[in-house]
Structure 1
Amino acid sequence: MDPELEAFVPLFPKADLTDPVGQRKNLAALAATLPPPDTTGMEIEDRTVPADPDVAVRIYRPHQARGAVVWLHGGGFVMGDLDTEHPWAARLADGSGAVLISVDYRLAPEHPFPAALDDAYAALLWTAEHAAELGIDPERIAVGGHSAGAGLAAAVALRARDQHGPPIRFQLLNQAQLDDRQETWSQRNFTGTPWMNRDKLTASWRHYLGSAPATPYAAPARAADLSGLPPAHIATAELCPNRDEDIDYALRLLRAGVSVELHQWPGTFHGSQAILSAEVSQRQIAELAAAVRRAVAD
């Protein structure tokens, strides 16, 4: 493990999702300890996307933005909101120069699949329909997220392809949660890794799926056909249970004719980019922003 990251491991909350409500409070407390992002170069506005039910979003508008990214927070489908995502959403908008629409999707287990996906897709439709109001090119809309949010972003891309939805220019999948089967080497062996491990992911999938069988829209790794999807930037952490399913997904996208940039970050663990003082975290965050900038903002 990267020495700068290892020093902070004891400060991370225990990897446990048996109590979702308690873990939401822990995540909120952790996010509150982060240095506030610099938002002087952008406008920030909370809006409501009309849907059934309505979806709350927070819009980050850097000056002279040309494209947008519909952004989906992490948290194992059971944690996270607009406030816990604010430190990352603001930094990504600032670094990329793209309008960022942070989505407050419904959380499991109170709202199992497909609630979160429906909310995310509603946000995509709204963004495309309101492109002129947002001051963006409707042909420059990306989807992205971290962890469970990255899994949702991949599912949104699949659904938009299948339902002939708005064109998606790019998908940014950071440490994505894609496969409920947990059969890869990293899923079977990473039982004690910081913040995210096999047992925590098992609980996450149980909360998200409820009694429903997994479909490709719930677990995108199950999709048989990955052709016709948007170009992807996929980032993985070495000590993350999701690592191998993400690399497998990247390879399958490539074989299906989809352009992919894949970056495996050595010495990192799931969510370790929250340790902002570490040099590797700074490079990770900068690279994610640069990927969005190249895809939709330049």
Structure 2
Amino acid sequence: MTNERTGSTRIRLYTPTGARSGAALLWIHGGGLLFGDAKQDEALCLSTAERLGIVIVSANYRFAPEHPFPAAHDDVLSAWRWLLEHATELGIDSKRIVIGGESAGAGLAAGLVQRIHDEGGAAPCGQWLFAPMLDDRTAARRELDALRHFVWDNESNREGWSGHLGTATGAATAPEYAVPGRRTDVSGLPPAFITWGDIELFAEEDRAYADALRDAGVPVTTDVVEGAPHGFSNWAKETPSAKALVERAQEWLRTVTAQA
């Protein structure tokens, strides 16, 4: 692992010690848009790089509310562009890159995928989304506050989204790419792997996004873990269910990059 920088954005670069497959992953950490660091996903990045022989760029980004949208979005876009610029020297086929993340990072990943699609040019071959934070309208549903979801509840969700957007949640409109779950036309986006726990706050919005992608003809693999709270594959990564989920996700990643 080495630390790199692109402009003001700090990134961590993971390269496999063995043979490289030619594929790569841009990974974006979680933290509710308010906190976190690429270092928190070291175990996942190391495991994935070694198991699949892929290069991984794990991006840091600025946080709300001090830095509202588009700050974090621009930072992960900068990391994407850095990865493309250095693809040849890193032995990466630019057609075999996936964008992924967890929680808020998965939401940033989904928004980034949408923007890349709209702008044209080199595009990811897949999106790898763990419990993505996709839709501010969930935060606007005050009846969800009483449920007190473990790890990330709706009051925390509202704080994250309102800081990111700089406005109250659930407004009539939102800036393009800031709220991926609001996008009405998701046709043409790359294949997706989306996983969530069935008891977490994001279960409904994640299912809705997966359904929208499928309805638009996008290949989607969903992995819904029964009884799992938000982010368990990270903070409970040593449990059998978390290990099994990561292995299933990595196999999807291996397959989608091999087919690109």
Please say whether Structure 1 and Structure 2 have the same fold, judged by a TM-score greater than 0.5: yes
Match of 2:79 in 1: 123
Where do 1:130-169 residues align within 5 Å?
A: 130-169=86-125
- Which residue, 252, 267, 283 being the options, matches 2:244? 283
The runs of 5 or more residues in structure 2 that have no matched partner are none
Match status 1:101 vs 2:57:
yes
Question: 1:91: Cα distance to partner?
Answer: 2.5
Question: 1:297: Cα distance to partner?
Answer: 5.2
- Which residue, 219, 223, 227 being the options, matches 2:187? 227
Match of 1:110 in 2: 66
The answer as to whether partners of 1:234 and 1:246 remain within 8 angstroms in 2 is: yes
Question: 1:116: Cα distance to partner?
Answer: 0.7
The answer as to whether partners of 1:124 and 1:166 remain within 8 angstroms in 2 is: no
Match status 1:64 vs 2:19:
yes
Match status 1:271 vs 2:225:
no
Q: For residues 216-251 of structure 1, give each alpha carbon's deviation from its aligned partner in whole angstroms, at most 9, with x where no partner exists.
A: 411111111101101000101111111111111011
Match status 1:199 vs 2:155:
yes
- Which residue, 69, 75, 79 being the options, matches 2:31? 75
Aligned counterparts of 1:71 and 1:152: Cα–Cα separation in 2: 10
Question: 1:96: Cα distance to partner?
Answer: 3.2
The runs of 5 or more residues in structure 1 that have no matched partner are 1-43
Where do 1:31-50 residues align within 5 Å?
A: 44-50=1-7
The answer as to whether partners of 2:153 and 2:201 remain within 8 angstroms in 1 is: yes
C-alpha RMSD of the superposition: 2.1
Aligned counterparts of 1:227 and 1:254: Cα–Cα separation in 2: 9
What TM-score does the superposition give when structure 2 sets the normalisation length? 0.90
Pair 1:266–1:202, CA change in 2 (3 A): same
The answer as to whether partners of 2:145 and 2:155 remain within 8 angstroms in 1 is: no
Q: For residues 156-207 of structure 1, give each alpha carbon's deviation from its aligned partner in whole angstroms, at most 9, with x where no partner exists.
A: 110001111421100011100000011799x837722211111111111011
Aligned AA (1:145): G
The answer as to whether partners of 2:139 and 2:158 remain within 8 angstroms in 1 is: no
Count matched residues.
252
Work out which structure has the larger RCO, using CA pairs closer than 8 Å and 6 or more positions apart in sequence. 1
The answer as to whether partners of 1:69 and 1:98 remain within 8 angstroms in 2 is: yes
Match of 1:248 in 2: 208
Match of 1:296 in 2: 257
Question: 1:55: Cα distance to partner?
Answer: 1.2
Where do 1:180-195 residues align within 5 Å?
A: 180-182=136-138, 188=144, 191-195=147-151
Match of 1:218 in 2: 178
Question: 1:257: Cα distance to partner?
Answer: 0.9
Q: Alignment identity in percent? A: 36
Aligned counterparts of 1:138 and 1:238: Cα–Cα separation in 2: 35
Question: 1:214: Cα distance to partner?
Answer: 2.2
The answer as to whether partners of 2:139 and 2:154 remain within 8 angstroms in 1 is: no
The answer as to whether partners of 2:26 and 2:80 remain within 8 angstroms in 1 is: yes
Question: 1:215: Cα distance to partner?
Answer: 2.6
